[in-house]
Structure formats: C-alpha cells, structure tokens
Amino acid sequence: MLLSLKTQLKLNSQQRILMSKHAGIARFTYNWGLATWQSLYKDGYKPNQRLLRTFFNNHVKTNPALSWLKEQGICQKITEFTFENLGDAYKRFFKGLGGYPNFKKKSRGTDSFTINSGGKPISVGGTGLKLSTIGWVRTYEAFPHTSTTKFTISQRAGNWYISFTFEQELPKPSATMTIVGVDVGIKVLATLSTGVVFDNPKARDKIKKKLAKQSRQMNNKTRGSKRYFKQKLRVAKIHKRISDIRFDATHKATTAISKNHAKIVIESLNVKGMMSNHKLAGAVGDANFYEFRRQLEYKSQKFGSEIVYAPMFYPSTKTCSNCGHLQPMPLSVRVFDCQICRISLDRDQNAAKNLEKLGRFVIKTR
Ligand SMILES: [Zn+2]
C-alpha cells in the first residue's frame, strides 16, 4: 500500500533562503516551460517534455540573462521534475481530466518544488535527512524507516513542509497470539478484556416507546376484530425491527471478535440471566447470550480462532482481576472495588479480564 507523509521542516535562516531559491527556480522553469510550450505550439511544433528539456539546457547555456540560474547551482533534478510535472499537466488537460496549465505566481503565498532521484531509492528514517544540493535538514517529527524516490518541499504561511510517498505493508488483520475475554451482557452487548465495549444499538429506546404505544392501541381494540388483527401486525413488525437491529449489532461484534483474536474466552452459561430477578430480562438475556455464542462458534471456524468456555462456576465476576481476591458482587453493584488491592474498575471489564486470564492457562477446548 502506498502511503504519503507530510511533516514540518526545522530550518535555520540560511536553509530557508535556500528553500526559497529552489522554489523560485522551480517556478521559473515551470513558467518558462509553459511559455515555450505555447510558442512552440503556435509555430506548428508538437512539444513534449523531452524537447522542452533539450531546449532549456541549450537556452540556459547560451543565454547570459539567465546566468543567475547557474550561479545558484541549479538543481538538475528540480528542473527535470518541473518539466515532467508540466508534461503531466498537459496530458491531464488533453484527456479532459484537468484545466489548461496555469502560470505559477509568486504572490500566491505558496511555494513548492520537488526533488526527484530519478528512480533511485533514497533511504529515510529519524529526524535527519540529506537532500541533494540542499544538504542536511531536520524535521520536528521522526520519519519511519523506509525509502522513497522523490520529495516535495512546500511552503505555507512561512512554514516549510516536506512530503513523500512510500510503500508500506499493512499489518496482518489477525493478530496470531492474542487472547481476549468476552463478557456478554444485557446492558451492553459485550465487554472485552482489551477495553473494547460493544454497545447495545442506540435506536432501541425510541422504538421501545413506539412499541408500547402501538401495543396499547392493540389492547384497546376488540379482540378478534379486523382492526385488532391489523394492529397486531403493526406490533409484530416493530418486534421484528427490534430484533433485526440487535441481530445486526451482534453480527458486527462477533465478526470483530473472532476476526481479531486467536483465542476467545467466554462463560459457558448465561450467568447474568440466571442471576437476574426480572423474568423478562433473564429471558431476553438468555436468547442474546445463545445467539452471541452461536455466531462466535461458526465465525471462529471461518477466521481460524478458537473458543474457550469458562467452567460453569468460574467466578469471573467476583474475582479481582488484579490480585485474585474474591468478594461478593450483587447485581446492582456496577463497579468492582477491590477490598484488598484497592483497584476499581467496571464490573463487566473486571469479568472480561478474568476470562482472558483463564484463557492463558486453558489449552484444551470443547
Ligand atoms: Zn484486588
């Protein structure tokens, strides 16, 4: 994958002058090239960038008015790139992809030039960089260790920047040795030991209100009447939408979990649902838990991850994930405050961390 990077240069006043001179030369050659191109075209020639370069070299060598360019120690690489740039601008214009090339104006407040190595790789890395004809320059931010074939140096509002593109291999999507503990919840969909939390879909409350309203209207109608059945269908549709939203969110979570981890540790039973006093919450939680587990199972096969189930009475919620101390954790307590090591963290986060720890010891899977 081709990445590009742009960062500010740390220059002394001498270097700033040097950069301005280079930008000036780039602007001059570009404008000279454009004017020459136009006049050659008028005279019936078919200009191209190579012809332009030959013309330029002869022109500079013979014209005493342009001796200042030579005095500056004109950078061959800059002029070469300038003509290439101009050639490309014309190509884009003829293909209808860009406007007719414009002359570069000094007053615009932006300046730039490109140093081209002609395909030879230049190694980059750290905060120092050696540029041909300019010498060593520094950057505020360190470059990654890589290589490139050309740099563009530009100025905006008095600051100078350097940019370049480089090839980089993207890290592999599945980390091969990561273990994750997953606490499947009711309030949130799932909490991972890595700190990632998959929230319940946000739209639920709004739809719930709608569901309550439509259900009320259904109950006001005469049972068995045409209107009653019509209303019943409406209610059923809302139920379907709620479950679709949840199903979709569960899919996203289970895909992300099985795709990015080698070992996934979850509880073997819906302990939360079992502990809940509220019958309906327990039933809903149960259904979610088994759906979550079902999706994880087939997706882990697809992505090559493995699932570890914690033993039925593994106290993931009551154990301190930091020191191992056991303490009671009623359902209403949302934060695990360890009485021994004084660590304080979210109840589900603590449980997920314990599940992850378990995964480090368990080798066998069911
Ligand atoms: Zn503790």
Give me the pLDDT at residue 122, please.
82
160 and 17 in a single domain? The answer is yes
**CA of residue 225 to ligand 1 center, whole Å:** 62
Percent of the chain with pLDDT strictly greater than 70: 86
The span from the CA of 24 to the CA of 32, in Å, is 12
Show the beta-strand stretches assigned E in the chain.
2-10, 110-116, 122-131, 135-148, 150-156, 159-167, 179-184, 190-192, 197-198, 263-267, 306-310, 335-337, 344-346
**CA of residue 344 to ligand 1 center, whole Å:** 9
**CA of residue 339 to ligand 1 center, whole Å:** 7
Give the confidence band of 107 by pLDDT, cuts at 50, 70, 90: low
276 and 248 in a single domain? The answer is yes
346 and 224 in a single domain? The answer is yes
Given a cut of 80, whether residue 252 has pLDDT beyond it is: yes
pLDDT one-digit tens code per residue, 148-163 = 888 889 888 788 999 8
Q: Euclidean distance between the first and final Cα of the chain, in Å?
A: 40
The span from the CA of 24 to the CA of 35, in Å, is 16
Task: Give the total number of structural domains in the chain.
Answer: 2
Domain end residue (candidates: 110, 139, 167):
167
> In this structure, is residue 134 part of a structural domain?
yes
pLDDT one-digit tens code per residue, 192-236 = 998 888 887 765 677 888 888 988 988 888 888 889 888 988 888
Domain end residue (candidates: 167, 197, 227):
167
**CA of residue 223 to ligand 1 center, whole Å:** 58
Given a cut of 60, whether residue 84 has pLDDT beyond it is: yes
**CA of residue 330 to ligand 1 center, whole Å:** 17
156 and 185 in a single domain? The answer is no
Tell me the residue type at 88: D
The rounded radius of gyration (Å) of the Cα atoms in the chain is: 34
Domain end residue (candidates: 167, 189, 210):
167
> In this structure, is residue 173 part of a structural domain?
no
200 and 347 in a single domain? The answer is yes
**CA of residue 348 to ligand 1 center, whole Å:** 15
Residue 117 · residue 149 · CB < 8 Å: yes
> In this structure, is residue 82 part of a structural domain?
yes
pTM equals 0.47
pLDDT one-digit tens code per residue, 280-311 = 555 666 667 888 898 999 888 888 889 999 88
For tokens 């406007």, name the residue.
99
176 — phi, psi (to 5°)?
Answer: -75, -25
> In this structure, is residue 366 part of a structural domain?
no
Give me the pLDDT at residue 191, please.
92
For 42, 199, 299, 303, 362, the CA distances from 179, given in Å and listed in that order, are 71, 21, 16, 14, 11
Residue 243 · residue 284 · CB < 8 Å: no
The span from the CA of 105 to the CA of 103, in Å, is 6
252: domain CATH number is 3.30.420
Task: For residue 88, give the H/E element and its range.
Answer: helix 76-94
147 and 199 in a single domain? The answer is no
**CA of residue 323 to ligand 1 center, whole Å:** 4
Domain that holds residue 184: 179-361
> In this structure, is residue 242 part of a structural domain?
yes
221 and 161 in a single domain? The answer is no
161 and 269 in a single domain? The answer is no
